[in-house]
Amino acid sequence: MTLPAGLPVIDTMIGFPHEGFAVYDFIRKQTKDQASKDSEFPAEYMFKNVPKDLPTSDPIAVTLHEMDRFGVEKGMVGVSDETSQLALKKHPDRFIPSGSINDPNDVVGSVRAIKREYEEFGIRATSAFPSGTFPQVPIDDPKMYPIYATCVELGIPIFVCAGVPGPRLKFAPQEVSRIDTVMFDFPDLVFVTRHGCEPWEQLAVKLMLKWPNLYYSTSAFAPKYYPKAVVDFANTRGADKVLYAGYFPMGLSLERIFRDMPDVPFKDEVWPKFLYGNAARLLGL
């Protein structure tokens, strides 16, 4: 039950270092406490040694260097910024394109954006941060339904943050119980949770048993903090349901992640599915 050597890795949440922290302005404008407004990274209170001082002159090279150090064969990145678009163009064998639902309050605009990104970049997935939208749009809000329907139509999964968010935003839009309604109404939708599902991780496991197309990714968690309920599920009935995601460079270094990874008590047969196989299947690689 130790990490086998030489297994390939697909990281379903990775990015590139950027100059400054303007990328988090959308969070800061919604928070009300002064500490969040003054912070560079609004969830930094939860993370140690955030990799904030990475060089930004060649961000693609920085991320590729870290991927090569730790055997990350492919990484899923957004398509909305120039750096990511350049990376996808220059290294299509290393990076997987993914969309992002920036404002689900604009229902028609969101649907059009998914289709445009699918046609222009060939996105293999899209993503949403319900508590981070403004005004907030819950997981099971009717505004999300045309977005889910579009994902089903295009045959792509949606990765959605679930559980209490790190930034000091209201958590109600991300209550895990909301996923049950979505899966009932969209049984063909491939729905992958991000950011832990805590404190409802046991409910997430129960729902994954219930719904064939519901999955869990480990983004924003160092391996030593993977929820026990999720690890136990992967080792029993859920080997095909749990997939690796990091959080580089947003909050965790790959060095931190892969230093801790060998201590995760996955069974031998779980590791290939967790690190590579499940993501490859869901993303159609």
β-bridge mates for residue 193, sequence order: 160, 216
Q: What is the mean pLDDT of each run of 10 residues along the chain (285 residues)?
A: 84 92 84 87 81 86 97 97 96 98 96 98 98 96 98 98 95 98 98 98 98 98 97 98 96 95 96 98 97
- Supply the pTM of this predicted model: 0.96
Q: Give the span between the Cα atoms of 231 and 77, in whole angstroms.
A: 25
Angle at 156 between CA 17 and CA 119, to 5 degrees: 75
Spatial separation of the C-alpha atoms in residues 283 and 285, rounded to whole Å: 6
pLDDT, position 126: 98
pLDDT at site 49: 78
Considering only CA atoms, which of 284, 283, 285 is closest in space to residue 127?
Answer: 283
